[in-house]
Amino acid sequence: MLYYIGVFLIILNCVTGHNLQCDKIDNNNRFDCFPEYGSNQEDCERRGCCWSPPFGLKHNSNINTPYCYFPSDFPDYQVSSSQSLDNTLTYSLHKLNSTFRQKEILKLEARIVYDTKNRLRVQITDATKKRYQVPVFNNNYKAYEKMKRTDDTDYQIFVNKDPFAIKIYRKSSGRLIFDTSVAPLIYADQYIQFSTRLVSKIFYGIGEHQDSLAHEADWNRYTFWNRDIPPTVNTNLYGTHPFYMSLDQDGTAMGFYLLNSNAMDINVNPTPALTFITIGGIIDFYVYLGPSPSEVVAQHLDVVGRPQMPQYFTLGFHLCRWGYFTSEKLFEVIKRNRAIRIPYDVQWTDIDAMSQRLDWTYDKQNFSSLAQVIADLHAHDQYYVNIIDPAISNTPGYYPYESGLRQNVFIKPLNGSEPLIGVVWPGTTVFPDFTNPNTSVWWFEQAKNFHNQIPYDGIWIDMNEPSSFVDGSVHGCAGNQYDKPPYVPKVVGGALSSKTVCPSAQQHLSNHYNLHNLYGHFEAIATYNALRSIIKNKRPFILTRSSFGGTGQYAAHWSGDNRATWEDMYYSIPNMLSFNMFGIVQVGSDICGFSGDTNEELCVRWMQLGSFYPFMRNHNDDVSRDQDPAVFGKVAQDIIKKALLTRYTLLPYFYHLFYRSSQFGETVVRPMFFEFVRELPTHSIDRQFMVGPALLVTPVLEAAVDHVVGYFPNDTWYDFYNGHQLDISKGQYINLEAPITDINVHVRGGYVVPFQHPGLTTAQSRKNPFGLLVALKQNGTNKCAFGSLYWDDGQSLSSVDEQVFNYFNFMADQNGLTISRVRQGYDAKMILGHVKVYGVDKQVKMVTINGEMYDNFVYDDLNLVLEIKFIQVDMLLNKFISIFWS
């Protein structure tokens, strides 16, 4: 019998090309050995890989189960020596022979650093020469002491020596959370590939892509090469954030970040596993142990940098369009929205306000009164932001170009002495090299000269992938190994030069091949530093389209040129939730849609949703109809106004969340699973989201509906508007009424949410009395609620460092509320005027404030809400304020 089995296996191997190492690998565990287009059996087997059609049919993904895949005995690296010193393990690696990738590097060095108790770093480099590494620095990085006892970590590391592989276990559970043994390591000059096993079938992050929040481990591919293109599924977009988070079976979270700025593919297969393919740099990654999702994000932001604290006015409503065409039309829009009393802080202009679309200019014919319009905005406590693209016209006599030539700040083609020339809005253009120190000086000069003419309050940096309307340059590219590398990730356009500058072009720190994905990041840094000097002592406000890990230290972000569709409205939610994980927390999407004509229902619903974006801007293009609030009917205007007044009411709560983000790396908006990780339905929800820990938003994302289904975890939930408590005893889906007049918002029991009576601008709102919304927790015997408030002048750069702020803690139970002033460092008028308490389940007949009877209260015995009005207690004159009811 054994004889016949052996004969059968020999025949099978000869007929199909299989061998025993291939036959042992099922569909789900195939790792692609031919990620390029055009795989075939002959070339596959020439690589020493297995070839066979997959069993069964493929479904629902943008790549197929590979026909060509690695055998389990594919040649790999071995450990030749190792050493341990302090908190670092170092391994010398070698591979006996090259495989199929060009210029494979046979000697490597791997360093594993026990970075902190719950974070480790792995670097794998060429052992014989230095390679390009990401030149990004975190301004906030804390220099942690070296781990004195590696036994104190939350992780355990095992290194397999032959073949080399790294496995990381979580000590508390013994679960394997990272495992490179699933596929071979390939390390060539322009091709690096490694894989890791995922802890579950669901993972998050991997941006910037148009996608759902939760990604399923099925055959799929995510490509990274920053690109100017309207958000499209399965397409590389504006930013590069190779960070992912995954949840273990028990709800514990882990995270991973690859610090690499080169073009990249991340392939997903249902093992579940991820394969990282990058065409430059080194392997340099961090693994975060959490164990909670919020702790994973905080650990990641310790590495890339925590977000800046925003100016308070930037939390208000922003209005913009490409296509005002004249300053008279611009002023008309401003006045008509003022006339209907729309809360409204910031007015923007797009490239139509420029003279011939030249940076740092304005059209003195069509926008002749722009300076007067800005003066009027400032007189009404409003602000102005203008757009600047990086590409500079090479028109002779144009000062930014001529001065840039003198200071040698522009990107040059390979071996060229003159700037590389592309084409953008003004025509032929050159591109500043923001990695060059000279460029920051030159950029500051242009920004200052323009500010002397037009006193802007912030800058919008767009088209900074960088975008060009031609491929490479008007003269083509050098065509070397950087313009046409041996492997090209699946970028839109098929080439790295597609609608951007030549990868072979030279910049100060390296070639564009290495620095492309960092272009917008370095521009954000230069713009941030310029504004710090121009608008002195104030936090710069910058909005950027292109981003990289750490950009949140310098700029806000929006999701780019979306469309006026319900689908794009939905995608705005996973986008902002993902960017909060990436550390760019002041994020939003163009409300009502950038391209295409919106309609009243879509715009009203989107304005309601946008009222809970961390960054709220209505913006559209030059060929679509107007979509500012005043163009709609009276009913729609009133609904939009109601949504905006809700936002302005909640700005103190938002501001406190931004403070927590800037200081502790927390998110401002977050997925539901961040707060309820043990409730499995929350793991895939992205049509609802949390604002901080206390507010749950359930928007309508479809046309012509008046109900919406939302999931409510096992907790206490109150209707935000009237305090009615939901009747639930466990986590469950609920069908909610959703009339066009309102967006569903619920308050979570156990939290005190600070608010402020809204004005028509943030400046007006900040002068008004504060209020506290107390939502008592009902499940259990401890019916308590807690909250805090950070408050400063809303603009100074050094408020936190110099302790020029006020801080309050709030604590409540079923009998009363106490307010404790923790810090008083900012001289301001802070009057407590209003308290609402949800969940007071006994009749209230008496209220005392600081021991004195107070009569101005109402108790709603239907919704069990106590409302105390017109309090007028100075929060700064009283270190403790007590309010009791009975």
d(CA 687, CA 684): 9
CA distances from 507 to 412, 432, 436, 653, 660 (A): 7, 9, 7, 43, 37
Q: Annotated catalytic sites, by residue?
A: 462, 465
431 alpha carbon, distance to own chain's centre: 26
d(CA 597, CA 621): 9
**For residue 117, which of 153, 77, 67, 78 has the smallest C-alpha distance?**
153
DSSP E strand stretches across 208-345: 214-216, 220-224, 239-247, 253-258, 264-269, 273-278, 283-288, 317-319
CA distances from 138 to 230, 245, 302, 590 (A): 30, 21, 8, 29
Q: Is the dihedral of CA 717, 722, 727, 733 positive or negative?
A: negative
d(CA 836, CA 753): 10
CA atoms within 13 A on the CB side of 709: 3
**Parallel/antiparallel/unpaired status of strands 865-874 and 831-838:** antiparallel
Q: Which residues contact 110 (CB under 8 A, 6 or more apart)?
A: 90, 91, 93, 122, 123, 124, 164, 166
Question: DSSP letters of 811-837?
Answer: EEETTEEEEEEEEE-S----EEEEEEE
**Parallel/antiparallel/unpaired status of strands 317-319 and 616-618:** parallel
- 3-state SS string over 587-609? EECEECCCECCCCHHHHHHHHHH
Helix orientation angle between 399-407 and 437-453, rounded to the nearest 10 degrees: 160
**b/e map of 806-830 (b: 16 or more CB within 10 Å)?**
bbbebbbebebbebebeebebeeeb
Q: Which helix (H) or strand (E) holds 126?
A: strand 119-126
Please state whether the peptide bond connecting residue 208 to the residue before it is cis, i.e. omega within 30 degrees of 0: yes
Q: How many residues does the chain have?
A: 886
CB 261 within 8 A of CB 518: yes
What φ, ψ does residue 613 adopt, rounded to 5°?
A: -70, 145
CB 792 within 8 A of CB 806: yes
The domain over range 2-69 is classified in CATH as 4.10.110.10: yes
**pLDDT number for residue 12:** 34
Helix boundaries (H) for 365-458: 370-379, 399-407, 437-453
**Parallel/antiparallel/unpaired status of strands 590-591 and 616-618:** parallel
Q: Is the dihedral of CA 125, 130, 135, 141 positive or negative?
A: positive
Strand, coil or helix: what is 79?
A: strand
Percentage helix, strand, coil, to 5, in the chain?
25, 30, 45
Q: Is the dihedral of CA 275, 280, 283, 285 positive or negative?
A: negative
**pLDDT number for residue 21:** 81
Please state whether the peptide bond connecting residue 272 to the residue before it is cis, i.e. omega within 30 degrees of 0: yes
Name the DSSP class of 139: T
**Parallel/antiparallel/unpaired status of strands 547-548 and 239-247:** parallel
CB 701 within 8 A of CB 570: yes
**pLDDT number for residue 5:** 32
Please state whether the peptide bond connecting residue 540 to the residue before it is cis, i.e. omega within 30 degrees of 0: no
**For residue 810, which of 584, 691, 656, 642 has the smallest C-alpha distance?**
656
If 0-12 CB within 10 Å is exposed, 13-18 middle and 19+ buried, where does residue 522 land?
Answer: buried
Pull the structure tokens for residue 373: 């319009």
CB 111 within 8 A of CB 123: yes
Q: Are 78-304 and 313-409+430-466+513-664 in the same CATH fold?
A: no
**Parallel/antiparallel/unpaired status of strands 427-430 and 392-393:** antiparallel
860: which strand partners?
Answer: 865
Q: List the domain boundaries for the chain.
A: 2-69, 78-304, 313-409+430-466+513-664, 688-885
d(CA 317, CA 558): 14
d(CA 77, CA 616): 51
Which amino acid appears at position 338 of this protein?
Answer: R
CB 589 within 8 A of CB 300: no
Q: Is the dihedral of CA 713, 718, 720, 721 positive or negative?
A: positive
Radius of gyration over every alpha carbon of the chain, rounded to an integer in angstroms = 29
Strand, coil or helix: what is 541?
A: coil
DSSP E strand stretches across 251-312: 253-258, 264-269, 273-278, 283-288
Domain boundaries 688-885, corresponding CATH code: 2.60.40.1180
DSSP E strand stretches across 320-412: 346-349, 383-388, 392-393
The CATH superfamily label for domain 78-304 reads glycosyl hydrolase (family 31) (2.60.40.1760)
Pull the structure tokens for residue 78: 């071995």
Mean pLDDT in order along the chain per 10 residues (886 residues): 34 43 88 95 97 71 86 97 94 96 98 96 98 82 62 94 97 96 98 98 98 96 98 97 94 97 97 98 98 98 97 98 98 98 98 98 98 98 98 98 98 97 98 98 98 98 98 97 98 98 98 98 98 95 98 98 98 98 98 98 98 98 98 98 98 98 98 97 97 98 98 98 95 98 98 98 98 92 91 97 98 97 97 98 96 97 97 95 98
Domain boundaries 313-409+430-466+513-664, corresponding CATH code: 3.20.20.80
Which pTM does this prediction carry?
0.96
**pLDDT number for residue 14:** 37
